[in-house]
């Protein structure tokens, strides 16, 4: 195993589209949402143990989730859990992790990934990451992973690539498009030169810090100025103060869409971002009429089909004459919604917060 390989797991989101199971105090990355016996962040951490030494894995998360990370990943030291005092999107959290790692090892090669994605083909994923680490180190480029699309999905970002290739398989990126309309998504699929944006990045520490200096100089200066405090007792206090100065900006918008050395590796490893209840429904085991029930111990269906049901263990639920619905109960809250309207969950959460405060959020 290469001791220059590092991983940054981004675990600061609140997963509002999985409300009411995912709450601000206990978001989806800390939940065993598929009933596998491991939470999403535990699965992510375990995947990276085959790519880099465990001491080279870092989690960036909101300060309020520190205890959850320690509880679910007990092998991680306090120095490997990087906390944010406020949410500022992906560019600041990636800058923090990469500057800290570079201060420890200037030759580091880093993979950055969300904590709440599903990977079904783990050997395939490991192979893709290892090839990406080698190419990123060799060429000093910024690599992103693109998933070969199976359908025109409006919930994903898209990456357009060109015929210019590194190492026989890494294509130069032409454009990024964020969540297009269905008509545009259809044209993307038909063209054959678009991939889903997996939000997984690979680069050398040198290459990404050069990019921050060039494209996000203000964020670069904030974390470059912190070099004397990384890996000292003053790091947390300094960084938490510095975070207040950071703009809210994604790594895609801030760097990946602007840099001229971005390459994408077309990949297939059973990926899902588990972004909505529909993605859980697609992956879950279903009965002969298309009902997916997690857990399935006390749910009885009469003349009901294609429903996604997620209720507390031991809860008796009877559905009669219900078709194509989501039924979810958790934390003293019950949500019943047509499956094709699940994108409206974020608005529901906002309305609940406006009417009842944060008690149910």
CATH number for the domain harbouring residue 248: 3.90.550.10
Question: Within 10 A of 356 (CB to CB), how many other CB atoms are there?
Answer: 10
Q: What is the pLDDT of residue 136?
A: 96
Same domain, 281 and 188: no
pTM for this model (two decimals):
0.91
Same domain, 283 and 250: no
Q: Are 157 and 79 in contact (CB under 8 A)?
A: no
Place of tokens 């060109």: 162
Domain boundary (224, 244, 272) is at: 272
Same domain, 305 and 230: no
Phi, psi of 310 (to 5 degrees): -135, 110
Cα 254 to Cα 18: distance, rounded to the nearest angstrom:
27
Same domain, 108 and 171: yes
Cα 12 to Cα 157: distance, rounded to the nearest angstrom:
20
Same domain, 238 and 316: no
Q: What is the pLDDT of residue 175?
A: 87
Q: Are 139 and 262 in contact (CB under 8 A)?
A: no
Residues of the chain predicted below pLDDT 50: none
Same domain, 282 and 266: no
Same domain, 189 and 52: yes
Task: State which residues form the domain around 331.
Answer: 277-356
Q: How many domains does the chain have?
A: 2
170 part of a folded domain: yes
188-212: burial string, b at 16+ Cβ within 10 Å, e else: beeeeebbbbbbbbbbbbbbbbbbb
Question: Within 10 A of 151 (CB to CB), how many other CB atoms are there?
Answer: 9
Same domain, 287 and 140: no
Same domain, 10 and 101: yes
123 part of a folded domain: yes
Place of tokens 């298309």: 290
Domain boundary (245, 272, 299) is at: 272
361 part of a folded domain: no
Same domain, 104 and 84: yes
- Let me know if 303 is exposed, middle or buried by CB neighbors in 10 A (0-12, 13-18, 19+): exposed
Same domain, 287 and 252: no
Same domain, 304 and 217: no
Q: What is the pLDDT of residue 265?
A: 96
> Tell me: the pLDDT tens digits for 129-146?
999 999 999 999 999 999
């Amino acid at each position: 195993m290469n001791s220059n390989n590092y991983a940054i797991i981004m675990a600061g989101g609140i997963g509002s589209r999985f409300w009411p199971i995912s709450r601000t105090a206990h978001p989806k990355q800390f939940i065993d949402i598929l009933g596998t016996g491991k939470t999403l962040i535990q699965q992510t951490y375990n995947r990276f143990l085959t790519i880099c030494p465990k001491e080279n894995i870092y989690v960036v998360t909101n300060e309020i989730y520190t205890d959850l990370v320690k509880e679910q990943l007990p092998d991680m030291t306090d120095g490997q859990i990087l906390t944010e005092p406020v949410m500022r999107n992906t560019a600041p959290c990636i800058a923090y992790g990469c500057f800290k790692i570079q201060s420890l090892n200037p030759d580091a090669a880093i993979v950055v990934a969300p904590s709440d994605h599903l990977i079904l083909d783990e050997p395939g994923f490991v192979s893709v990451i290892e090839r990406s680490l080698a190419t990123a180190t060799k060429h000093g480029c910024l690599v992103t992973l693109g998933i070969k699309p199976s359908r025109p999905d409006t919930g994903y970002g898209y990456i357009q690539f060109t015929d210019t290739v590194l190492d026989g398989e890494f294509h130069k990126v032409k454009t990024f498009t964020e969540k297009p309309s269905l008509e545009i998504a259809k044209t993307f699929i038909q063209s054959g030169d678009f991939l889903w944006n997996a939000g997984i990045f690979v680069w050398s520490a040198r290459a990404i810090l050069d990019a921050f200096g060039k494209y996000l100089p203000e964020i670069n200066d904030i974390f470059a100025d912190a070099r004397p405090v990384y890996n000292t007792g003053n790091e947390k206090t300094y960084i938490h103060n510095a975070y207040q100065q950071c703009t809210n900006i994604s790594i895609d918008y801030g760097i990946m869409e602007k840099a001229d050395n971005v390459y994408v590796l077309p990949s297939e490893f059973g990926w899902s971002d588990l972004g909505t209840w529909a993605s859980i429904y697609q992956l879950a085991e279903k009965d002969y009429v298309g009902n997916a029930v997690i857990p399935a111990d006390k749910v009885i269906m009469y003349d009901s089909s294609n429903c996604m049901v997620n209720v507390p263990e031991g809860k008796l639920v009877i559905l009669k004459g219900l078709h194509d619905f989501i039924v979810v109960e958790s934390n003293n809250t019950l949500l019943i919604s047509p499956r094709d309207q699940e994108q409206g969950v974020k608005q529901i959460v906002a309305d609940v917060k406006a009417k009842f405060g944060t008690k149910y959020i």
